[in-house]
Structure 1
Amino acid sequence: MPVPTELNLHRQSRVLEVAYDDGTRFTLPCEYLRVYSPSAEVQGHGPGQRVLQVGKEEVGIDKIEPVGNYAVCLHFDDEHNTGIYSWEYLHKLGTEQEHLWKEYLDELEKAGHKRKSQPS
């Protein structure tokens, strides 16, 4: 599994940039990271229990806290801070970003929610 070499938070544009030792680099919007938080609050405690997150268009990250050598805890400005983002999970979010973002937008639409701003 690739190991991150850089982690840069761009507060104004609300994106987290992650570079890995295999040369991959991802620009992950805070909203995307928030709605796919690995926390039980978002993912549930088993398959099919994920909770749709709405109204996160303007969410930002206040703080990034290291968790050992394998992950970070992202502290969002909506006070969500229980997700531990392993390097592997961040890499997955990067490689599957297009698919997962579309899935999220489709889930919002099916639930009758409209985003306040255009998708990133």
Structure 2
Amino acid sequence: MAGLKPHSPLPTAVTVHQASRVLEVGFDDGAVFRIPFELMRVYSPSAEVQGHGPGQEVLQTGKRDVLVTDILPVGHYAVQPRFSDGHDSGIFSWDLLYELGRDAAQLWQRYEERLAAAGVTRDTPMPAKAGAACGSH
């Protein structure tokens, strides 16, 4: 099984566009998505972003200019990007990339609502983690 779900669309092309800060992914059902790096970063499936359960999500800010500095295949089902802010623990399944592309408008709206509720903007720097070593993520 190449996707995490049976009969999921499979990627036919994955292209990192640094200048426009998007990951372009084409799928075998004909869909082509240009997923902004910022959207990928703020919805990273990592525990650092999603937490370990409902209600533990960490609102990501200051990610507007984040870049994908490397991207590695994970088996036949996902990729693992390394972001310019050092974040590299999110594994993006083909299913997740498809959902990020398909649902981008709703995800952006949800993100903007969460920012407003927290009284911050996309450009607010992330707060320093208590006890975190320099360069940790």
Q: TM-score, normalised by structure 1?
A: 0.94
Question: What's the counterpart of residue 88 of structure 2?
Answer: 81
Aligned counterpart in structure 2 of residue 57 of structure 1, from 33, 41, 64: 64
The number of residues matched between the two structures is 116
CA distance in 2, matches of 1:26, 1:108: 25
CA distance in 2, matches of 1:96, 1:115: 19
Instruction: Determine if the alignment matches structure 1 residue 102 to structure 2 residue 109.
Output: yes
Instruction: Determine if the alignment matches structure 1 residue 9 to structure 2 residue 16.
Output: yes
CA distance in 1, matches of 2:86, 2:50: 17
CA distance in 2, matches of 1:49, 1:65: 27
> Per-residue displacement from partner, 1:44-95 (whole Å, max 9, x unpaired)?
1112211100100110100010000000001000000000000011111111
Aligned counterpart in structure 1 of residue 98 of structure 2, from 91, 95, 98: 91
- Identify unmatched segments of 5+ residues in structure 1: none
- Identify unmatched segments of 5+ residues in structure 2: 1-7, 124-137
| Over 4 Å off, 4+ runs | none
Higher relative contact order (CA 8 A, sep 6+): 2
Deviation (angstroms), 1:114:
2.1
CA distance in 1, matches of 2:24, 2:89: 20
The structure in which a higher percent of residues are strand is 1
Q: TM-score, normalised by structure 2?
A: 0.82
Larger radius of gyration between Structure 1 and Structure 2: 2
CA distance in 1, matches of 2:122, 2:54: 26
Instruction: Determine if the alignment matches structure 1 residue 46 to structure 2 residue 53.
Output: yes
Instruction: Give the secondary-structure state (helix, strand or coil) at the position aligned to 2:119.
Output: coil
Deviation (angstroms), 1:109:
1.1
Q: How high is the sequence identity, in percent, across the aligned residues?
A: 53
Amino acid at match of 2:102: T
Question: What's the counterpart of residue 111 of structure 1?
Answer: 118
Amino acid at match of 2:60: Q
